[in-house]
Amino acid sequence: MSSSRLAEQRGEVIAIAQRMTADRLVVGTSGNVSVRCGDLVAVTPSGVDYDDLRVDDIPLVTLDGEVVEGELKPTSELPMHLTAYREHGAGAVVHTHSLHATALSLLRDEVPAVHYQLAEFGGAVRVAEYATFGSPELAESMSKALTDRGGCILRNHGTVTIAETLPKAYNRARQLEWLCELWLTATRVGEPSLLSEEELARCAEQFSRYGQQPR
């Protein structure tokens, strides 16, 4: 058992990072993952093969970006993660370079309403305007697109999803990629039929009561 601070959370970051690769949401060391615990954030390091990560390799940083534990440099996308925590109340952040979502970002300004699952994000998933990776401008662009949403797509780049927990944020990343793949698949043979805003609102209400509720 590791005696490292926040060992459980750091281990969870490793598990989700490795799963991103297995699920083909990233290639190599692209993409990144983080989870918040109080005033600290456990985040994947920069440029390290996820299969080689150990708990002590996961940096712990403050919400201001100061590294307080870990010898490896945090991901270059740290400004984006910290913005999601400070401005959107995230408990966890998942950033992928998933193929279909990135492809859609080259064509659209938001994800078309091809399926009711979109309602789980709180409404239309927006595409953030392009900015250089790791830059404050990208964090600002992401933050604008993420307002009142559970995720967004970064133009010519990838996706960002947030949630209270890391498993939920990761599930949103997978759902977002599936929604984009669905739209791209349908457009190969015709013009997709879309759900109305009213129907998405009804579905959003249904999602608020979805799953096992306290008795």
At 45-79, the pLDDT tens digits run 998 999 999 999 999 999 999 999 998 999 999 99
Q: Distance between CA atoms of 5 and 162, rounded to whole angstroms?
A: 23
Write down the pTM of the prediction.
0.93
Query: At 154, is the secondary structure helix, strand, or coil?
Result: strand
Q: Distance between CA atoms of 215 and 106, rounded to whole angstroms?
A: 46
Domains belonging to the chain, first-starting first, are: 3-208 (3.40.225.10)
Asked if pLDDT for residue 134 goes beyond 80, the answer is yes
First to last CA, the chain: 36
Query: At 67, is the secondary structure helix, strand, or coil?
Result: strand
Which tens digits make up the pLDDT trace of 26-36?
998 899 999 99
Asked if pLDDT for residue 42 goes beyond 90, the answer is yes
12, 69, 71, 77: the catalytic one is 77
77 part of the active site: yes
Query: At 21, is the secondary structure helix, strand, or coil?
Result: helix
CB contact at 8 A, 91 and 63 = no
Q: Which residues pair with 128 in a beta bridge?
A: 154
Q: Distance between CA atoms of 141 and 129, rounded to whole angstroms?
A: 6
